[in-house]
């Protein structure tokens, strides 16, 4: 039926044309933006995941920048340590040559002063972004003095996020500290570790008796350094002997304990008993063993071996010697023109400093390697996230192009259909002519 009031064909053609225009607009938007899912209305679940992943990718990018900054700090400190190592090698050679007879020590000291100033200059200038890891305001030997480099960005399964870090122990790196205690300085405190004190009660102690003879009362923790030698003379009956306590003895006695750091620290009665047992019994060949130290309740006692059980035990006062002054030696104070200089001790100290600087270089090298691995992993992770986001929301441009071509043809046909439908009214008018 034909009608001049309602053109059903035109309405149908117009509806089809609107539908095609909407679909074509969506495809054109995909072609223009390259995104299949641009808004939450396109696909709420995928849009939410992609938006979160983009946020994580931004955080990862910031972490990568921070890692680059950390790597630069490590590299700067490493170059300073490497240069210091070379200078210390030259410094040691000069000190060794100063020990020759007839050499002009004043000239050598002038060279040493220049080397000292160069080390100070290196430690002052090894700074990046306002941080200098070779100089510090730390006082003494705080092992816990740390800084950190931002490392991984983490998102847990429950959605919480966190930023990790790589800790840097500055006590292993600092050449100079305010107040002393750096790698190239003497200690600000005359006592190393816990200090010797009364050597756990042994200093000034002497005793004699039969059977279980009470030993020294352990009164406080103390530290035996590598420079300390404590020698104690004793006798059982007519047999005389000595035992010696050094850091090596302490390490032998306590090195297997959980948490013991080979630092010479003796912290309890039980530790002290183990050290005395090591010195009096375990470190001696069987023919030389006269007695062993035993853990008492709560202190120490000496017991003769069974063949000598009835003999008198006598323990003399200990003799303590130290190869270094308690505070150590400062590199900047070394003067080969000093008539009282102890060259063997100075050489020993320089070697210790050199080894510590080498260890600092190795530590920084391991940090460089770890940061490089984290940077490489971060780059791979960023690429992976980009690919994952693309799989979720990117448009297939080949498919979009084909759809756009097809929709353009359909749009043209729909336009023709609408034109034909609109001509029906003209056909009705022709009936009345």
For the chain, helix (H) and strand (E) counts, in that order, are 8, 16
Residue spans per domain, the chain:
47-189+329-385, 199-322
Half-sphere exposure of 186 (CA within 13 A, CB side): 16
CATH number of 47-189+329-385: 1.20.1330.10
> CB–CB of 64/378 below 8 Å?
yes
Taking only the tens place, the pLDDT of each residue in 133-191 is 888 754 334 444 678 787 777 777 666 777 777 888 888 888 888 767 788 887 654 44
Taking only the tens place, the pLDDT of each residue in 247-261 is 899 989 987 666 566
The CA distance from 40 to 181, in Å, is 61
> Which own/partner contact pairs does 162-168 have at CB distance under 8 Å and 24+ positions apart?
163/59, 163/63, 166/70, 166/367, 166/370, 166/371, 166/374, 168/74, 168/133, 168/367
Of the pLDDT bands very low, low, confident and very high (cuts 50, 70, 90), residue 271 is confident
Burial tier of 76 (Cβ tally within 10 Å: 0-12, 13-18, 19+): buried
Taking only the tens place, the pLDDT of each residue in 291-327 is 888 877 667 889 898 889 899 999 999 888 876 665 5
Q: Could you tell me what percent of the chain has a pLDDT over 70?
A: 81
pLDDT for 142 equals: 45
C-alpha closest to that of 67 among 365, 367, 364, 359: 367
Q: Name the token pair of 99.
A: 């020990």
The overall pTM is greater than 0.95: no
Q: Name the token pair of 29.
A: 């938007």
């Amino acid at each position: 039926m034909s009608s001049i009031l309602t053109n059903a064909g035109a309405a149908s053609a117009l509806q089809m044309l609107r539908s095609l225009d909407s679909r074509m607009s969506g495809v054109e938007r995909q072609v223009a933006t390259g995104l299949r899912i641009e808004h939450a209305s396109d696909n709420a679940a995928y849009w939410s995941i992609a938006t979160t992943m983009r946020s994580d990718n931004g955080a990862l990018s910031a972490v990568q920048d921070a890692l680059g900054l950390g790597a630069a700090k490590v590299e700067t400190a490493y170059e300073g340590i490497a240069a210091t190592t070379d200078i210390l090698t030259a410094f040691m050679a000069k000190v060794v040559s100063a020990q020759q007879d007839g050499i002009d020590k004043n000239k050598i000291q002038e060279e040493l002063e220049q080397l000292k100033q160069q080390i100070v200059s290196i430690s002052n200038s090894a700074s990046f972004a306002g941080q200098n890891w070779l100089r510090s305001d730390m006082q003494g030997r705080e092992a816990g003095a740390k800084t950190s480099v931002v490392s991984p960005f983490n998102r847990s399964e429950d959605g919480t996020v966190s930023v990790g870090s790589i800790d840097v122990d500055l006590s292993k790196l600092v050449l100079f500290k305010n107040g002393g205690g750096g790698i190239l300085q003497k200690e600000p405190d005359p006592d190393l570790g816990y200090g010797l004190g009364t050597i756990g009660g042994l200093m000034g102690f002497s005793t004699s008796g039969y059977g279980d003879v009470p030993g020294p009362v352990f009164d406080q923790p103390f530290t035996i350094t590598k420079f300390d030698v404590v020698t104690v003379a004793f006798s059982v009956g007519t047999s005389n002997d000595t035992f010696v306590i050094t850091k090596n003895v302490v390490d032998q006695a306590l090195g297997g304990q959980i948490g013991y750091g080979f630092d010479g620290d003796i912290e309890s009665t039980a530790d002290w008993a183990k050290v005395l047992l090591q010195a009096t019994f375990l470190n001696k060949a069987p023919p030389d063993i006269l007695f062993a130290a035993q853990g008492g309740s709560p202190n120490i006692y000496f017991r003769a071996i069974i063949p000598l059980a009835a003999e008198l035990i006598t323990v003399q006062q200990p003799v303590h010697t130290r190869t270094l002054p308690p505070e150590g030696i400062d590199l900047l104070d070394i003067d080969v023109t000093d008539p009282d200089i102890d060259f063997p001790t100075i050489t020993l100290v320089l070697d210790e400093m050199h080894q510590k600087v080498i260890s600092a270089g190795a530590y920084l090298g391991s940090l460089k390697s770890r940061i490089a691995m984290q940077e490489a992993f971060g780059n791979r992770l960023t690429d992976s996230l980009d690919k994952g986001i693309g799989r979720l929301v990117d448009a297939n441009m080949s498919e979009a192009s084909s759809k756009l071509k097809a929709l353009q043809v359909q749009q043209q046909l729909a336009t023709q259909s609408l034109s034909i439908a609109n001509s029906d009214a003209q056909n009705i008018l022709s009936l009345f002519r």
